[in-house]
Structure 1
Amino acid sequence: MSGLPRRGVFIAFEGGEGTGKSTQGRLLAEALRARGIGVITTREPGGTPGAEAIRRLLLDPPGETGWTSEAEALLFAASRADHVAHLIRPALERGDWVICDRFVDSSRAYQGGAGGLGDAAILALHAFGSAGLRPDLVILLEADEATLAARLAARDGDASDAIGGRPVEYHRAVAAAFRDLATRDPQGFARIDAVGDPQTVHARVLAALEPLLASRVV
């Protein structure tokens, strides 16, 4: 047994549109690699060929009406099941750290909270499709609406995907759902102020991860 690799660490970045999840995930991966840690970066929906195919369906749905909330939740769960089976679990079993841009808590906030399906339905899909896998820590990036609106305008202009382009009330409900999830699970979530330049926010992320890093010295 002593020859087996130690299980890796699973970190998920969560938050609404424009909070800087991709940037902070990249900066964290660079910092971990500089410490000699093996890191896999990935995203949801996506991360594997099958999951990326589903991503395209989700963000650019066929037809005029788009997906119902139920169909959307099922597609996310199917994408995640493939992602977990073929990328996340194997990487963790090799001893790598996995940094994921969104995971199941996005489904809980978007489809379960703002979409009205409820948390129990999302968790049931996750239990069936991905055996209930949880990150070791969720980094929840939070910022005020004005900051996020400015970032999104700079990043996307007038173009948005099927989910990002939903009304402001929907995104407020998403933010409220994320806050509720973090409040109910303070050990599983680290709430990070995402206002500031990327390096300043990165320093906050590293500070939140320090206990986990200290316990996983390589």
Structure 2
Amino acid sequence: MFFSFDGIDGVGKTTQIERFVGWLRATGREVVTCRDPGSTPLGEKLRGVLLHSGPELLIGPTAEMLLYMAARSQLVEECIRPALERGATVVSDRFLLANLVYQSHAGGLDRDAVGAVGTVATHGLLPDTVFVLDLDPAMATARRQGPDDRMEARGDSYRERVRQGFIAEARRDSRIVMIDAAGSVDEVEALVRDAAVSRHAELAAS
């Protein structure tokens, strides 16, 4: 099984991924975790460029999208596909959906063109289920800690476009599950587990 988590910054992805992975491992499954971009030497270098470079480094929308795709391609080749081939479960912090939303819906690039590049970058590999933690941008901003990265620094209007992009993609892709992230950590965890069990019969006995 291949799962990914997504959503605007501040919705609680890190916490929910940790809890979901802990639950899966408690059932005796091998679980491989990764983050996109990242989790490979190339991916981590590109992550630094994409998220933590200063304003003096100009990155245009198309270049930004292609850098994310390069990191993802290496992630699939080096981490995700080998894990799936040996029977492990993979849980990724973001995947291709993030590009469709951030660079297309919120960034103005053609959605189908981004999707086509994504197909090349991943050789068509997609998660079985994508959990999108949904939260009002103002609430998400209030929850966030630490300095803004390049994406977070684009402001509330950008984050709202990102949120609406996730909602739009969920309407067209049945693999995407929208999870209300406004509740407590335990409440959100329960929603994620219930959605996973309803979609994957092998988890029902866990």
TM interval, short-chain normalised = over 0.9
Residue matched to 1:151: 143
1:60 positional shift: 2.2
Contact 1:20 1:141 in 2 (8 A): yes
Structure 1 runs of 4+ off > 2 angstroms?
60-63, 211-218
Matched residues in 2 for 1:114 and 1:146: separation?
17
Percent of pairs with identical residues: 38
TM-score, normalised by the number of residues in structure 2:
0.94
Aligned residue runs from structure 1 range 188-203, under 5 A: 188-203=175-190
Structure 1 residue 131 displacement after superposition: 1.0
SS in 2 for 1:135: coil
CA contact (8 A) 1:60 1:162 kept: yes
Q: Which runs of 5+ in 1 are unaligned?
A: 1-8
Per-residue deviation at 1:61? 2.8
How many pairs does the alignment contain? 205
Q: Which runs of 5+ in 2 are unaligned?
A: none
The corresponding residue for 1:101 is 93
Is the contact between residue 51 and residue 150 of structure 2 (CA under 8 Å) also seen in structure 1?
Answer: yes
Q: Measure, in 1, the Cα distance between the counterparts of 2:35 and 2:78.
A: 13
Name the SS of the counterpart of 1:17 in structure 2: coil
Question: 1:7-46 to 2 correspondence within 5 Å?
Answer: 9-46=1-38
2:33 match: secondary structure: strand
**What is aligned with 2:202?**
215
Partner of 1:162: 150
Equivalent position of 1:52 in the other structure: 44
Aligned equivalent of 1:75: 67
CA RMSD of superposed structures (Å): 1.5
- Report the Cα offset of residue 58 of structure 1: 0.5
Specify the code of the residue in structure 1 equivalent to 2:176. Answer: F
